[in-house]
Amino acid sequence: MKDTLQVRPSSLPGRRLPAAGAPDRDGHSHAWTPAEARARYRSGLSGPTAGVAAGHTQANLISVPADWAYEMLLFCQRNPKPCPVLDVTDAGAWTTPLAEGADLRTDLPRYRVWEHGELVDEPTDVLDRWRDDLVSFLIGCSFTFEWALSEAGVPMRHIEQGRNVSMYVTARQCRPAGRLHGPMVVSMRPVPPEHLAAAIRESSLLPAVHGGPVHCGEPSGLGVEDLARPDFGDPADFAPDDIPVFWACGVTPQAAVMASRPPFAITHAPGQMFLTDTRDEQYRVA
C-alpha cells in the first residue's frame, strides 16, 4: 500500500495537496535515477518530487478526452509561460519518449481525477480510471531549473525545509482557447536580494520549463493576498531579507479544468511530478 499523506481543506474547488514530507526515508532521493524514482512511485511511494533524481527534467501531467485535446493544445500554445509543452501522446497512449519504459498511469506519486471541474479522487495510480480516448500533455515544471539556481548559489527554501513548493492562483487570466479558460497559477520561492539576479538569469535560460519569473516582490501585484496560505503546496519560511519571486506554474491547466469544467480529466497532484529521463541541461538555451 502506498504511503498516505493527510489532505488539508482548501477554499478553492478541489483540495490542497497533501502535506509535504521527505519523499524517501533515507535522504538520498536526489541520487536516484529517474527509472528508480518511477519504480518507487509505481510500487507505493508518494510525496513531493522537488530535488528527486537531481539533474533530470520533471513534468506536469494533464490528460483530457480527445474532443478537448485541440483546445488544450491551443491553450498551451497561447499561454507558453505557464504551459510549455514537452510532449503530447496519441489518444489512449500511456507512454512517452521522454522516459523509456514508463507508464503515465502508474509512475507518478499521486494523481488527481476530475469530473465536470470537480476533484473526485486523488489516487496513486489511475489504471482503473484510464480511457482509450485520453490525450496526455507533459508540461515543463519549474523543479527542472532548480538545479541551475542551486548551482548559482540560490537557496531553495522549500527543499531545505522538507516542504512542497508554494503555489498560488493569481488574478491574471490566461488567454482562452475555445472552451478552455482560467487564471494563471504561480509557484513562489523566497530569494535573498543578493541572489535575485542569478535566479532571474538562470531560470530565463530554460524557457521550456517556464523560464524567468513573472513577478518579484509584493504579492498583491498578482492578486495574491496571503503568502502564508498557498492554494497548493506548503507555506515557506522566509529569511529576514528574502524577496518572494514568482514563476508561472504548470498547475495552471488544473485551474483551467476547474474554471472550464470539461467532463473528465486526469492530472498530477501539484508538486508530485513525472520524472523523465531527459537531462535538465538539454533544455538550456545558452
**Sign of the alpha-carbon dihedral angle for 28, 37, 229, 241:** positive
In the prediction, which pLDDT does 101 show? Answer: 95
Would you state the CATH architecture of domain 29-141+261-281? 3-Layer(aba) Sandwich (3.40)
| CA 214 to the chain's CA centroid | 16
Query: Shortest CA distance to 54 belongs to which of 203, 257, 275, 271?
Result: 275
CATH superfamily of 145-248: PSTPO5379-like domain (3.30.2040.10)
Same fold, 29-141+261-281 and 145-248: no
**Prediction pTM value:** 0.88
Rounded to an integer, the average pLDDT of 76-90 is 97
Phi-psi category of residue 2: left, alpha or beta, with phi > 0 → left and psi -120 to 50 → alpha: beta
Residue 9's pLDDT band, with cuts at 50, 70 and 90, is very low
In tens, the pLDDT along 157-193 reads 998 998 899 999 999 999 999 999 999 999 999 999 9
pLDDT higher than 70, residue 267: yes
CA distances from 220 to 223, 224, 227, 233 (A): 5, 5, 10, 19
In the prediction, which pLDDT does 231 show? Answer: 95
> Is residue 255 helix, strand or coil?
helix
Domain locations in the chain as residue ranges: 29-141+261-281, 145-248
